[in-house]
Chains A and B, each alone.
Chain A
Amino acid sequence: MNMAELQKKLFAAARANPPSDDVPYAFEERILAQLAAKPAFDILATWNRTLWQAAAPCVAVMLLLGAWTRFAQRADSSRETLAADLESTLYLAFDNSTETW
């Protein structure tokens, strides 16, 4: 049997009989119901929206902390800063080296 010829004949048979494009009754209702039941979830859009929503509170917190830092410094300018406190605590052992040795 000529296989190439058979193959050609079968391709021609398939071309001559295209599948039906019939749509079952109210099929679109089924899909629309699915869409209504499961809203679209776009991870990028959600991330974008969350970032924008977080922007305003972040700016507010930043402004509050900035204002608090400035006013606290003005109110008690004589007190040593946290950095100076930390430094003196760390170097305390070296300052009293004679007692240690």
Chain B
Amino acid sequence: MPDSATVERTDAELIAAVRSGDTASFEPLLKKYQPRVFATARRYARRESEVEDIVQEVFLKAFHKLNSFRGDAPFEHWLMRLAVRTCYDFLRAHQRTREISLADVTDEQTDWLDHFAANPADASENASAARELVETVLAQLSPEARLVITLLEIEDRSVKEVAALTGWSVPVVKIRAFRARAQMRKCLEKLARGKYL
């Protein structure tokens, strides 16, 4: 396995070649980083066609903006910043205003909630119902809230990392994270109220 310096140098060579007009040199970069970009896009879009559109946009933007890559940080960081911002644009463009209701929750998710209500410690985190429930709740959040929850709580990134990825300042990330958690809790309360009251 090559060390990170070799990988960076290779990336730098490829980027220099693309900048000088060799479009084919973009292919190795594409092949190397597309799995990460796909995984990122799948956190924000459910339909595979939407995921593919996001990834395509990320790489087209990367190609056209390659001149703005200064090489201070690894190419991967620059690309992931672009990917996160493209996903955020996607969320804003596909923002839903409909509020969550019990109709949005499947029988399996309701069963999991019942199980959690009866015995919180016993409810499995690995259940597909829990995973789907997170998706359902996240889909109800505002784009900012969804982005910040995903990066901070699900991807387990630091506030500084989130600030670098999103382009927001650290205090803005903190405020948005606070509001996002509150927004999510409100969604869950609404669900619980509909079910148990």
* Complex contact A10–B192 (CB within 8 A): no
Cβ contacts A15-52/B at 8 Å (1 or 0 each): 11111111110011011101110001110010000000
Q: Chain B: how many interface residues by the 8 Å CB criterion?
A: 45
Interface residues of B in 110-149 (CB under 8 A from A): 116-117, 120, 123, 125-127, 130-131, 133-134, 137-138
Q: Is B153 an interface residue (CB 8 A)?
A: yes
Chain A interface SS verdict (over half): helix
* Complex contact A19–B26 (CB within 8 A): no
Chain A residues in 8 Å Cβ range of B116: 1, 6, 9
Chain B residues in 8 Å Cβ range of A4: 185
Whether A35 touches B154, Cβ cut-off 8 Å, given contacts A22-B35, A27-B34, is: no
- A: residues with CB less than 8 A from B are 1-7, 9-24, 27-28, 30-32, 34-36, 40-42, 45
Interface residues of B in 172-197 (CB under 8 A from A): 181, 184-185, 188-189, 192, 196
A55 and B74 alpha carbons, distance in the complex (Å): 38
A14 and B139 alpha carbons, distance in the complex (Å): 13
Q: Is B47 an interface residue (CB 8 A)?
A: no
Extra A-B contacts (11), CB below 8 Å, given A7-B184, A21-B36: A1-B116, A9-B125, A15-B156, A16-B126, A19-B39, A20-B42, A21-B38, A23-B34, A27-B34, A31-B59, A36-B23
* Complex contact A28–B34 (CB within 8 A): yes
User: With contacts defined as CB atoms under 8 Å apart, how many contacts are there between chain A and chain B in the complex?
Assistant: 102
A59 and B2 alpha carbons, distance in the complex (Å): 54
Whether A1 touches B196, Cβ cut-off 8 Å, given contacts A9-B123, A30-B56, is: yes
Chain B interface SS verdict (over half): helix
Q: Which of these, A31, A36, A41, contacts B56 with CB under 8 Å?
A: A31
Q: Is B63 an interface residue (CB 8 A)?
A: yes
Output the residue of A10, A12, A17, A42 with the most chain B CB within 10 A: A10
A31 and B28 alpha carbons, distance in the complex (Å): 12
A14 and B42 alpha carbons, distance in the complex (Å): 12
* Complex contact A32–B153 (CB within 8 A): no
